[in-house]
Each structure stands twice: as C-alpha cells, then as structure tokens.
Amino acid sequence: MGVIEIFTQYYGYFLRGTRTTVIVALVTVLLGAVLGCVIALMRLSKVKPLNWFSRLYITVIRGTPMLVQMYIVYYQFNFIPYPEITVLGVDMERAIPCIIALSINSAAYIAEIIRAGIQAVDIGQMEGARSCGMTSWQAMRYIVLPQAIKNILPAIGNEFVTMVKETAIIQYLGVSDLMYNNGIVTTATYAPLPCYYISAFIYLALNICLGRGMNLFERRLQRSER
C-alpha cells in the first residue's frame, strides 16, 4: 500500500493522534514556561537555598533522559487517582502524568533561556527602575522581563518546536498520540514505511505552522518597539 492509499483509508487515526499531540504539547509548553520562569527567578535569587535548589533541579533534569523522567513520574505518582477529564476527545487521565513529566523537563531548559535573557538586559535598567521608587519585583516585572522576553523569543520558539517532536515518547504510556496511532495503522497495513512518512509530514507541517506563527509574533513585537 502506498502513502496516499493508507492516508485515505486511515486518515481518522492520524488526525486523532495529531489532535492529542497538539493538545499535550500546548499544555506542556504553557506549564513549562510558567515553571521555567519561576526556576529562572530562583536561579537569579540571592537567597542561597533557592539558588541551590534551582541549580540542582536544572542539573538533574538536563542530565537525565526524558523517557526515564516520564517513567519515574508515572510510577512515583501512580497511586494518585487522576481525574477522568476529556479535553476535545483526549483522555487526560492517561495524559496527565506525561504532561507533568514533559513540563518538568521543558522548564529546566526554559529556565536557562530566561535567565540568559534577563542577564542580557543592561543592569542600568534595574537601577533606573529602583531609583524611581519601584521594588525589585516591580522592576523585574515591568521593566526587565518585557525586554528579556523580546530577546529570548527565538530560543523559546525553538523550545516549543522541540517539545512538539518530543511528545512522541508519550506513546509508551499508552497515550493515543500521533505515534501511537501510527503504530495502529502500521499493524493493520503491514506497511510501516508509508505510515512513518505520513507521521513525519504531519510533524513537519505542525512545526512549520508554529515557526511561522512565532516569526509573525516577533515582527509584531519589533513594530511595537519602534
């Protein structure tokens, strides 16, 4: 069977898997960005326990494979009765452990990106804000972080693209993502290569759309800055 014939007959499986992949990646990126921002601020904190914890967190997460982290999260919190929630047809009960693990992993990389962006902002910006009567938190929120975000946007976009691809590992926990459904079609057709071509094209299309969206957002920020 060829690529077109397989997609024509089994497109429902690929679309269902793509929907799960997009939802999991979107939730993961949002949670990872929030957690990464917190870890980055802890990393820059002068409070030694917070700084030490953030350093340890980043070292451990970046030094171990994501697949191992996902299994650890799954078995460590297996006793927790996850809520039976369905989002756009996606069973979140199975997806929640995967989202937690992926978010924890993504946060370590995003934290370093944010930290680098904050440190790239001229220190005079913080000093000027403090001299105007702002607190350190206000200066960071209203002056430093907006400038840092503009600097790190390309790197954050790259992390988003990476996360879309790395969601492929959630198939090992039985989450019906794109690769999981790819396996179902492969078993039904005995034609693995065309199935992988279709999945590769779908991942490519998703990341091209995401990249175009990030470029458009960057251009709008540049125009607003002018």
Q: Give which of 123, 125, 120, 70 is closest to 100, Cα–Cα.
A: 70
Domain boundaries, the chain: 3-225
Looking at residue 153, what is its pLDDT?
A: 80
Looking at residue 224, what is its pLDDT?
A: 59
Low-confidence residues of the chain: pLDDT under 70: 79-80, 82-90, 221-226
Q: Give which of 224, 183, 178 is closest to 201, Cα–Cα.
A: 178
| Span 49-78, pLDDT tens digits | 999 999 999 999 999 999 999 999 888 877
Long-range CB contacts for residues 136-140, cutoff 8 Å, separation at least 24: 140/41
Helix (H, G, I), strand (E, B) or coil at 30: helix
CA 124 – CA 118 distance, rounded (Å) = 12
CA 56 – CA 43 distance, rounded (Å) = 10
Looking at residue 88, what is its pLDDT?
A: 67
CA 146 – CA 133 distance, rounded (Å) = 19
| Span 74-96, pLDDT tens digits | 888 776 676 666 666 667 777 88
Structural class in CATH, domain 3-225: mainly alpha
CA dihedral for 216, 99, 164, 42, sign (positive or negative): positive
Residue 45 DSSP class: -
Q: CB–CB of 178/18 below 8 Å?
A: yes
Q: Give which of 172, 23, 180, 155 is closest to 86, Cα–Cα.
A: 23
| CA–CA–CA angle 88, 3, 165 (5° rounding) | 50
What's the pTM value of the predicted model, to 2 decimals?
0.84
Looking at residue 223, what is its pLDDT?
A: 66
